Structure 1
Amino acid sequence: MNRWLGVTALFLASLNLRPAVASIAPVLGSIQHDLGLSSAISSFLVSIPMICMGLLAPFSVKLSGKLGNERVIALSLALIGGSTLLRLFIQSAALLFLTALLSGIGIAMLGPLLSGFIKKHMAGSVPSMIAIYSMALALGAALGSSLTSPLYWRLDSWQMALAFWCLPAILALPLWFGVQKRRNPGSVPQAFSGKPLKLPWKTGKVWMLAIQFGMLSLIFYSLLGWLPLMLTATGASGGQAGFMVTLFAMVQIPSGIILQFLLSIHASRRDWLIVLSIMQTTGLLLFFFSLYLWFAILLCGLGAGMLFALVNLLPVEAASTPEEAAAWAAMTQCFGFLIGAAGPLLMGYLYDRMGNFHVGIMGLVLISTVMGILSLFIIPRRNVQK
């Protein structure tokens, strides 16, 4: 397979992993007003895709054993694009939640298989490919977070603004049809080497990575779903909140590349897990006290972005085969996203009960602190590389 085709296809596929979720928050107030949803109920629009990512991640790799890895990736992209386009016709809460479910299924199938794709076709450059994957994923989140509001103002329809994000899937699909054709010319597609998938249920390191990934997801998706309202609650104007949400998303775009540079200077994954957890915790503490909000958002965005790239790098590096890489990624994402799905729900519930985000933000501070402590045990100190 042509390397540039593989890298471009990987980038465009990864770009589709966040817009369907990230585009909700900027128009959440209008959605709640038009459909009569409470904060707790509307938080399901973020949590439903995450629950799907958790429950269905292992099945995506098994499905690839029957249909082929590249074909399942293409089907996932089609499902994400179709469900996002369906938002153009939303007139009820039921249809909106259905699109969240369908896009969640597509994202759940797509994520783990991209890790296996990297391990299979780009095993000699895993850190750089994970950096590209993370950059595309962050770019998708940034675009969904920052452009949905302007689209809404321009189109005067949150349905059209949400449906706009079917375009990345439309752009990615032809490339994946090309990848599929080049990998399986005239033959029945096979997943990886055809070996049966075995999830590493008894591997302690995978469980620790899953918990770490879950805590990171809980923090990130809580911020992704509620950051605009959290900022206005601190006294920021609507315009300031919009710019800070954009900053939060934009600083994550180069985070994978920055991490790769930092690892080239100091290779210890363990040390960077600790440092980045401290960075994220500091940003959340500043946010809690409403101090230096721009700097707080910068720390939270950079910390979360680099942590995500690093936590996704570890399972791929630890695996010895593409099958194992996909299995580790599937199990990590399975339990990680199930843990993370609780974040937006709890944040919405606490806001409904308390009338503010103080308890919720302090909870994120504590979780980020635990992430740093857990990092001491995920990777032995003697293992400098991993």
Structure 2
Amino acid sequence: MKKLYLLLAIFVAALNLRPIITSVAPLLGTLQDELGMSGLTASLLTTLPVLCMGIFAPAATALRDRLGLERTIFLALFLITGATALRGIVSSVFILVVSALIGGIGISLAGPLLSGFIKKYFPAKPSIISIYSASMTVGAAIASAYSIPIYNRSHHSLTLTLSCWAILGVIALLVWSVFLRNRADQKSLVRSKLPIRNKRAMLLSLFFGLMASMFYSVTAWISPIAHSFGYSPASSAMLLTIFTLIQIPVSLTVPGLVARFGKRRFFLILCSVFELVGIVMLLLHLPMLPAVICLGIGAGGLFPLALMLPIVETDTSEEAGAWSAMTQCGGYIIGAMGPLLIGAIYDYSGSFIAALLSMLVITVAMIGVQLLITGRKTEGQASY
């Protein structure tokens, strides 16, 4: 199969991994007003998929062993597309929560297996992960940026606004349907268990969790923090958009730099330092734009590196999928707790200073974990 088509398959699949989450975020207030949702229920629409991405990630390995890699990814895309389309039937709290659950399960399957897909078809080019991470960021940014305009132009139709993103899923299903014809790998499935006793896998899971915790905390709270600093609602929303958009070129660039120069640990720590600088700037009440840019650079570099590590640490696509499933299992569960922790600290202290200090602690802990990660020394492969 042509490499260009394989890259297209990765791109369109990853494009679908975030819209079901980020399309809801700008409309949470509207959903609460129109459907009478409580704050807790509204938060489930964004927190539940992330929890599912962690809880159900181990199932990806089991399903891959039974159905095959490509077929399982197709099933995952079908679940995501179906869950998104389900929101077009009727606007109700029940439908929104159920679709968030189903969509989260689909994402939990596709996420780690796309890493295995890259390992299978591009074993010597782990930097291809940049397409995966950048596409996912693009999907998240598009859904977040256009939800309000679509809502306004559709005469305030919540069902249309939240379900229109299923179009991306239909496109992905068409692209991936080609792989359903291939039965060649069904007879040679290698069953691999999660590396739960592997120290390095545990460290990678902890790193992924701290990274995701920072990412979701900043995503959830950067606008409220800006508003508390005196920025207008429009400016606060723009800062969140900048934080998201800056990640796209960074996520495309960093894996290539790692592939060219090696020293993965150096780039991991460098990106973490960018996040550290961004948090310190916020604590010092410096202008938020450079702080948000630093945070975006850090997040944009850390995520593709977190996805790349299970690929470079393993030898086969089955192992890569198992390692990715484990790191994302623990990582997303920890990551989902980040915004809740920051919110609880803010509620208790009444100030974002304490919340920012907790983010500082998370970032320092993440750097500590990165220092514990040593290079995988194999023949012809450079160390960290």
Match of 1:275 in 2: 270
- Matched-pair contact (CA < 8 Å) for 1:210–1:335: yes
Match of 1:291 in 2: 286
- Structure 1 residues 81-90 or 337-346, which shifts more? 81-90
- Matched-pair contact (CA < 8 Å) for 1:43–1:225: no
Alignment of 1:144-293 (within 5 A): 144-155=143-154, 156-181=156-181, 183-184=182-183, 190=186, 193-263=188-258, 266-293=261-288
Task: For residue 38 of structure 1, report the CA deviation from its aligned partner.
Answer: 4.3
Alignment of 1:1-386 (within 5 A): 1-127=1-127, 129-155=128-154, 156-181=156-181, 183-184=182-183, 190=186, 193-263=188-258, 266-380=261-375, 384-386=382-384
Q: CA deviation digits over 1:328-386, x for unaligned, max 9?
A: 00111111111111123233444555555443332122101111121111125999543
Counterpart residue identity of residue 173, structure 1 = L
Cα separation, partners in 2 of 1:154 and 1:349, compared to 1, 3 Å: farther
- Matched-pair contact (CA < 8 Å) for 1:25–1:224: no
Distance 1:84 1:120 in 2: 29
Q: Secondary structure at the match of 1:16?
A: coil
Distance 1:364 1:158 in 2: 34
- Matched-pair contact (CA < 8 Å) for 1:40–1:352: no
Q: Which runs of 5+ in 1 are unaligned?
A: none
Counterpart residue identity of residue 248, structure 2 = I
Cα RMSD between the aligned structures? Answer: 2.2
Counterpart residue identity of residue 325, structure 1 = A
Task: For residue 111 of structure 1, report the CA deviation from its aligned partner.
Answer: 0.6
Q: Share of identical aligned residues, percent?
A: 37
Q: CA deviation digits over 1:184-225, x for unaligned, max 9?
A: 2xx7x628x411121111110000000000011111122333
Counterpart residue identity of residue 205, structure 1 = R
Q: Looking at both structures, which has the greater relative contact order when contacts are Cα pairs under 8 Å and sequence separation is at least 6?
A: 1
Cα separation, partners in 2 of 1:377 and 1:325, compared to 1, 3 Å: same
- Structure 1 residues 12-21 or 350-359, which shifts more? 350-359
Cα separation, partners in 2 of 1:54 and 1:136, compared to 1, 3 Å: same
Distance 1:344 1:41 in 2: 15
Q: Which runs of 5+ in 2 are unaligned?
A: none
- Structure 1 residues 202-211 or 87-96, which shifts more? 87-96
Counterpart residue identity of residue 141, structure 1 = A
Distance 1:336 1:289 in 2: 30
Distance 2:152 2:221 in 1: 20
With the length of structure 1 as denominator, give the TM-score of the two structures.
0.92
With the length of structure 2 as denominator, give the TM-score of the two structures.
0.92
Distance 2:375 2:74 in 1: 38
Cα separation, partners in 2 of 1:165 and 1:284, compared to 1, 3 Å: farther
- Matched-pair contact (CA < 8 Å) for 1:255–1:309: no
- Matched-pair contact (CA < 8 Å) for 1:218–1:339: yes
- Matched-pair contact (CA < 8 Å) for 1:226–1:344: yes
Q: CA deviation digits over 1:38-66, x for unaligned, max 9?
A: 44443222221111111111111211211
Q: Secondary structure at the match of 1:200?
A: coil
Task: For residue 228 of structure 1, report the CA deviation from its aligned partner.
Answer: 3.2
Task: For residue 146 of structure 1, report the CA deviation from its aligned partner.
Answer: 1.7
Distance 1:152 1:288 in 2: 36
Cα separation, partners in 2 of 1:230 and 1:54, compared to 1, 3 Å: same
Q: CA deviation digits over 1:254-292, x for unaligned, max 9?
A: 222220343256421111111111101111222344422
Q: Secondary structure at the match of 1:253?
A: helix
- Matched-pair contact (CA < 8 Å) for 1:49–1:100: yes
Counterpart residue identity of residue 251, structure 1 = I
Distance 2:137 2:129 in 1: 12
Counterpart residue identity of residue 95, structure 2 = L
Counterpart residue identity of residue 341, structure 1 = A
- Matched-pair contact (CA < 8 Å) for 1:40–1:348: no
- Structure 1 residues 210-219 or 262-271, which shifts more? 262-271
